[in-house]
Amino acid sequence: MKVKAVAKDTGISARKLRPLINNVRGKSAMYAMEMLKFAPTPHARVVSKVIKSAVANAEHNYQMEPSELKIVTIFADDAQMMKRFRAKSRGRAGAILKRSSHITVVVSEQEA
């Protein structure tokens, strides 16, 4: 059975999250959280929290063993952008796009 967790509007662009997410895709959930603990970027904490939430959902709702869970699907989608403008030369305005993302994690039990 597949169990899902989603973190919406993280405030981190999907482009910054994708290298982290690609490293943990297909790994055991516990191993992935250990890997993210030592990642050099502060954004790893957010990804780790979503994985931890998916594991907790599986354990609480479906009585699955946390040590047997594997990350089946993980991805970061673009969320709504905050749009700001800054004054530029000759009376023009330059757009500033503050990007955000949604992180989705799906875990399932590993086959023995």
Q: With pLDDT > 70 as the criterion, what percentage of the chain qualifies?
A: 99
Query: Can you tell me the mean pLDDT for 81-100?
Result: 97
> Do the beta carbons of residue 64 and residue 106 sit within 8 Å?
no
The structure tokens 């609480």 sit at 60
pLDDT for 111 equals: 74
Q: Is the pTM of this model over 0.75?
A: yes
pLDDT for 106 equals: 97
Q: What is the CATH number of domain 3-109?
A: 3.90.470.10
CB contact set of 1 (below 8 Å; sequence gap of 6+) = 62, 64, 108, 109
Q: What is the mean pLDDT of the chain?
A: 96
Phi then psi for 71, rounded to 5 degrees?
-80, 110
**So where are the chain's domains?**
3-109
How many residues belong to the chain? 112
Q: Which helix (H) or strand (E) holds 33?
A: helix 29-37
Q: With pLDDT > 90 as the criterion, what percentage of the chain qualifies?
A: 97
Amino acid sitting at position 72: V
pLDDT for 110 equals: 84
